[in-house]
Amino acid sequence: MSRKIKIGITQRVDKVDSYNEYRDALDQKMIDWVVDAGFIPIPIPNTLVDLDSSDESQPRLGGWLRELNINALILSGGNDIGNVPQRDLTENYLLAWAERNMVPVLGICRGMQMMGVYAGGKLIEVEGHVKTRHQLQFDDHNREKFVESVNSYHNQVLENCPDSFKVLAKSDDGNLEAMVHKYLPWEAWMWHPERETVFVKNFQERFKDLVHHGK
């Protein structure tokens, strides 16, 4: 597998009061997960967007994407949607760019939520999904594509699967856990594959298939 394929990864924003700083941040395990899959991870800064411009008009971020020749995206976890406008705008622009250019996208946790909201979905609060594990429910067609138990670190879920996506898996309490786009090379999971003690190979294989589907 070529190591020239570049994966742009969005980052959460942390406020560090002791230094009066806002910092882009990414779990080191996410970098390891992407490298272990055979790709080059490229963290995407949240400072390249102009909050006074529309989602479609972001020349700095658009130019950055062209210069680095990003081949696929991961929308990572962290930050509730609506709490960090810079990040929300960054990811909305990235999804519009990926849609126009048929760029593969994997959404993880908040990333799945963002993809769902972008597609017209609505978020609702959920209990019993923070710092725990639960079983996945899926039809027989998808049974061999996933493991049965996944981690969970979220307090919001999509109320329903958006019309442009189809359900891949639900949690044992019936909430949406994974979905795939009907037309674009986009897939999304509510669990964190990078937080597993040992990386689950079939998650990485699914990601590889997604990336190469878009090439």
Active site residues: 109, 192, 194
Dist CA 120 CA 164 (whole Å): 9
Backbone angles phi, psi at 5, to 5 degrees: -70, 125
Q: Using an 8 Å Cβ cutoff, are 7 and 40 in contact? A: yes
Show the DSSP H helices in the chain as ranges.
28-36, 59-68, 85-101, 110-118, 201-213
Dist CA 92 CA 133 (whole Å): 29
User: Which neighbouring-strand residues pair with 106?
Assistant: 74, 187
